[in-house]
Chain A
Amino acid sequence: MNAPTRLAEQIADPLLIGGRAYRSRLLIGTGKYKDFDETRRAVEASGAEIVTVAIRRTNIGQNANEPSLLDALPPSRFTILPNTAGCYSADDAVRTLRLARELLDGHDLVKLEVLGDPNTLYPNVVETLKAAETLVRDGFKVMVYTSDDPIVAKQLEEHRLRRGHAARLAHRLGHGDSQSLEPAAHHRERQGAGGRRCRASARPPTPPSPWSSAATPC
């Protein structure tokens, strides 16, 4: 019921997520707009086909007598991607996404985020891993907000998550990169120039320095 299915062959260079093909590579959040009408107009202008919804903050039917976002952005036209913004533990996140799946008639593609700090919005990766494991076991297709730690990304991948999306999606914090670029840079060097793994970093590569021959961003 969630957005029309299209064959990958019908789209040049499709984005494939959860078995569906998308033309747009911009996923857009639905929060922080003046009202649902402004949300709808912005989403339409963005061309996004996947819209993410903070289940804790936005009504998609939890409150039956209040306006629902789904009236502005109908699931027949958009893939609704429920997220766990505002969740600080694995239990909270899992409960929130189970509620979303019920409200969306079994739609199982979700975006998991378990936060560790309200000011920086850094993820709590320990809780994130726990939640991811539970959700995957429970049949969800999970996209994950995490740090750019390659080991954590690998562990998430091993939970058979949506391959690569854990780290690939450029989920940027509002005030630029708060995460050190160093681990990613080391990782890149070990992989060598052109190593595909480095693409999994959500952070931009360290700018090439004219003083260092080790600058080999991919």
Chain B
Amino acid sequence: MELGCDAVLMNTAVAKAQNPILMAQAMRKAVEAGREAFLAGRMPKKLYSASPSSPAAGLISPKAA
């Protein structure tokens, strides 16, 4: 769904789950989540440019030598 599929059709994965009712509810949320992610639009693609989420500069204590 997050890639842009319009909809999902499924049967066995729900019907043969240990708890089909709970799985049905899970798939409802999954499809809703996927659609919202598609509408939100993913972050831009960039190869080979990972950046750490923790700051690497401006630290209080200098790095140990």
Partner of B39, one of A13, A44, A204: A13
Q: Which residues of B contact A52 (CB under 8 A)?
A: 9, 11
Question: Would you list the 6 A-B pairs with minimal beta carbon distance, nearest first?
Answer: A29-B11, A32-B15, A46-B24, A45-B24, A27-B9, A42-B24
Q: How many residues of B contact A (CB 8 A)?
A: 29
Chain A residues 159-217 with CB under 8 Å of chain B are 164-165, 168-172, 174, 199, 202, 204-205, 208, 210, 213, 217
A213 to B3, alpha carbons, bound, how many Å?
Answer: 20
- Using a CB–CB cutoff of 8 Å, the interface residues on chain B facing chain A are 1, 3-16, 20-25, 27-28, 31-32, 35, 39, 47-48
A47 to B32, alpha carbons, bound, how many Å?
Answer: 10
CB of A43 closer than 8 Å to a CB of B: yes
A13 to B8, alpha carbons, bound, how many Å?
Answer: 15
Q: Which residues of B contact A42 (CB under 8 A)?
A: 14-15, 20-21, 23-24
A43 to B27, alpha carbons, bound, how many Å?
Answer: 11
B9 to chain A, nearest CB (A): 4
Q: When the two chains form their complex, are residues B11 and A218 in contact, meaning their CB atoms are under 8 A apart?
A: no
Q: When the two chains form their complex, are residues B6 and A15 in contact, meaning their CB atoms are under 8 A apart?
A: yes
Please give me the residue from chain B that is nearest to A12 by CB atom: B39
Q: When the two chains form their complex, are residues B10 and A172 in contact, meaning their CB atoms are under 8 A apart?
A: yes
Q: A26-B27, A32-B16, A46-B25 are in contact. Are A164 and B6 (CB under 8 A)?
A: yes
A29 to chain B, nearest CB (A): 2
Q: Mark A23-41, 1 if CB is under 8 A from B, else 0.
A: 0111111111100001101
Q: Which residues of B contact A168 (CB under 8 A)?
A: 5-7
Q: When the two chains form their complex, are residues A25 and B31 in contact, meaning their CB atoms are under 8 A apart?
A: yes
A218 to B22, alpha carbons, bound, how many Å?
Answer: 32
Q: When the two chains form their complex, are residues A46 and B14 in contact, meaning their CB atoms are under 8 A apart?
A: yes
